[in-house]
Structure 1
Amino acid sequence: MKRIAIDMDEVIADAHIRFAEWYKRDYDVEFPHEQLHSSSFMDLVPEEHRSVIKGYAFHDDFFKDLALIPGSQEVIRDLYEKYEIFITTAAMEFPNSLLPKIQWLKHYFPYISWTNIVFCGDKSIINADYLIDDNVRHFKRFIGQGVLFTASHNKNVDWDLRVNNWQEVRALLL
């Protein structure tokens, strides 16, 4: 059975929206949906706010109840019937994210065993046929095929195999 490693943030969990929610809470500035999904959040805020924004992800509650990326739940359920699925997240940078991410996965993807959840720093350690991720840096030493999942921060990144949503993942792998 082939293996698929799937990143969490900006692939199945919408952290981008959380940044916008917390920014609105702290600065009373709201960005239109189109603007949020057209560029990196850091590019939308003034430079003097960027260190505060970066700090959000270190907060205990940041990853607690993120919204699902549309279609991820259904397509991953279908992939699970044909592939061995691993959720691989570079969570070590944000140690406070570990428990909220485990709880989030248990809630939305209860059929994925804890043995198939990998918290790491460098994803090249992952032995899989495919890695679906929003950041090409994780493909550099990965031995399988990197599949770039389009996110606001990578729209201008050049990568051969790209999917824009979960329906495109379905078409590619099922």
Structure 2
Amino acid sequence: MNRKSIAVDMDEVLADTFKKIVKTANDICNLSLSEVDVKGNRIWDFINKEQAKELRKAINTPGFFRDLEVIDSAVFAVKELSKHYDIYIATAAMEAPNSFHDKYEWLMEHFPFLDPRYFIFCGNKKVVHADYLIDDTVSQLDAFTGEGILFKANHNENTVTNHIQVDSWNEVLTLFSSLRVV
């Protein structure tokens, strides 16, 4: 029997990129925003064009993605899912081309049980062919040809979508437990 496959986004699904982006924006733009202040929005809504240019430059600096915090329960949940599904990591690295090495090293450090040949560094996730995609960005889920699952993140807090929505990795495990045919 062929195993089904799950593609998992990295930023805001496995890694808490948002926390570092808010901190970096505060440092670069001399702001004092908290994650709560930005809830339901993107950081770009709070800065001007010049500040956005500097923030994008900082995000694309080698090393930015290397020390991100892991989202709660992500390692345990992905390890559990890997017992029943083929797991692919699909990250939109084209937005920050200097992130490739950092993201690869981060994944190898925190998810050493995954096969790096299943890491997909892409732009639009319509090129990813898996049964499921867990992502925090509705446009990526809309482009994907399989079943999309919206992972709740700070920026998509108020998003209305037809995709299945999950708030945590515990909810992901419950969902896939109910989908699995024994």
Q: Percent same amino acid at aligned positions? A: 34
Unaligned 5+ runs, structure 2: 178-182
Distance 1:142 1:72 in 2: 22
Query: What corresponds to 1:96 in structure 2?
Result: 98
Secondary structure, counterpart of 2:77 in structure 1: helix
Given the alignment, which residue of 154, 162, 165 partners 2:165?
162
Relative distance call for 1:147 and 1:29 in structure 2 (3 A) is same
Given the alignment, which residue of 146, 149, 154 partners 2:151?
149
Q: What does 1:1-174 correspond to in 2, within 5 Å? A: 1-46=3-48, 48-160=50-162, 161-174=164-177
Distance 2:157 2:114 in 1: 30
Give the length in aligned residue pairs.
Answer: 174
Displacement after TM superposition at 1:168 (Å):
1.1
Conservation of the 8 A alpha-carbon contact between 1:20 and 1:30: no
Q: What RMSD, in angstroms, separates the aligned Cα atoms of the two structures?
A: 1.7
With structure 2 as the length reference, what TM-score do the two structures score?
A: 0.87
Secondary structure, counterpart of 1:140 in structure 2: helix
Distance 2:82 2:31 in 1: 40
Instruction: Deviation per CA, 1:104-163: give whole Å up to 9, x if none.
Output: 000000011111101112211111111000111112232210001111222232222111
Distance 1:59 1:155 in 2: 28
Unaligned 5+ runs, structure 1: none
Displacement after TM superposition at 1:21 (Å):
2.0
Distance 2:111 2:69 in 1: 13
With structure 1 as the length reference, what TM-score do the two structures score?
A: 0.91
Distance 1:112 1:36 in 2: 33
